[in-house]
Structure 1
Amino acid sequence: MRRGALNSYKETKVTTATQSKLIIMLYDEVIKQITIGVEAVKTKKAKDVSHNAFVKSQDCISELMVSLDLEKGGDIAQNLFSLYNYFNRELLEANTSGKIEKALDVQSMMKELRSSWVSISGTTEHETTPDRVGINIAG
């Protein structure tokens, strides 16, 4: 029963969020998954743990890419698209080579972008600080 309540909470959190909050939630999930992937590599856990975490982070970045309106967004949207594309390539490299520095660089840039989204969304850090429930982009 508790698991069902948690899943309901997650679903409600996502379905009632504004577009800005959804974007921030995706950033949070990327940051979280990179942390999981990097820790798995550092502690030499089973390869599938780091692999799955890096793939999940790439999936979230892909969601951010498809959410861009390249026609209305102009240069900003084009630049974000290029940056997200770069992030996915770097995470692929980190995943296949074990070079966690690449993943950490992406994570650092994602934190900066997240901070910018918090600023422009008009919310406070407290309102957007992840409760680590996460989101399920797989449906």
Structure 2
Amino acid sequence: MNAATAQHRTAYRTAELQTISQRDLLVRLFVGAERFLAAAQLAMELRQMEVAHNNCQRAKAIFLEMLATLNFEKGGEIALQLKELYLFLIGHIIEGNLRKAPALIAEIRPIVATLREGWERIPDEHAGTSLISLGTGHAFNLRT
């Protein structure tokens, strides 16, 4: 890929992220986490430890970002529950990565899929609504 193509792709993605709905952003993050967890699990099973480690790190980074965006003032009990859930997922990713235990990664993949499916079910009329006003406690603010 040449420099001009890369620059156009970066500009497109930046514009896309500035206009994406809150729901769709979270769905994309969960899809990414699912992809990284699946790749990590497979790499562990194939004994490709560096690949497994890199994919665990990427999945963990997604949940750390989700954790960092929680707004406990406005999200209340839901934000606290999401915090505990994200910490659980992060803990399993770390432990699975350290032990190179694909079973630990496999345990959390259905949870991540369920979370993604839940966000996908939010009706379009609420998709662009701030997640804070939906009561989730997430404080993503991509729009300038």
Aligned residue pairs total 122
Deviation at 1:110, TM superposition (A): 0.7
Establish whether residue 58 from structure 1 lines up as the match of residue 60 from structure 2.
yes
Shift in CA distance, 110/16, structure 1 to aligned 2, threshold 3 Å: same
Contact 2:93–2:105 (CA under 8 A) maintained in structure 1: yes
Gaps in structure 1 of 5+ consecutive residues: 124-139
TM-score (norm 1): 0.79
* From 34, 37, 49, the counterpart of 1:34: 37
Question: CA separation in 1, counterparts of 2:35 and 2:43?
Answer: 12
Q: Which position in structure 1 is the counterpart of 2:111? A: 109
Q: Which position in structure 1 is the counterpart of 2:28? A: 25
Contact 1:20–1:121 (CA under 8 A) maintained in structure 2: no
Q: Which position in structure 2 is the counterpart of 1:130? A: none
Instruction: Kindly report which structure 2 residues correspond to 1:1-139, keeping only aligned pairs within 5 A, or say none.
Output: 1=1, 4=6, 5-45=8-48, 47-122=49-124
Cα distance per residue 1:53-108 (max 9 Å; x no partner): 00110000011111111111111110010000010000001001011121112111
Higher relative contact order (CA 8 A, sep 6+): 2
Question: CA separation in 1, counterparts of 2:21 and 2:107?
Answer: 28
Question: CA separation in 1, counterparts of 2:108 and 2:16?
Answer: 26
Gaps in structure 2 of 5+ consecutive residues: 126-144
Deviation at 1:11, TM superposition (A): 3.2
> What percent identity do the matched residue pairs reach?
22
Question: CA separation in 2, counterparts of 1:76 and 1:51?
Answer: 31
User: Could you say what the CA RMSD is over the residues aligned between the two structures, in angstroms?
Assistant: 1.8
Q: Which has the larger displacement, 96-105 or 109-118?
A: 96-105
Contact 2:42–2:102 (CA under 8 A) maintained in structure 1: no
> Which structure has the greater CA radius of gyration?
2
Cα distance per residue 1:34-56 (max 9 Å; x no partner): 011111111122x2111010011
Deviation at 1:7, TM superposition (A): 3.9
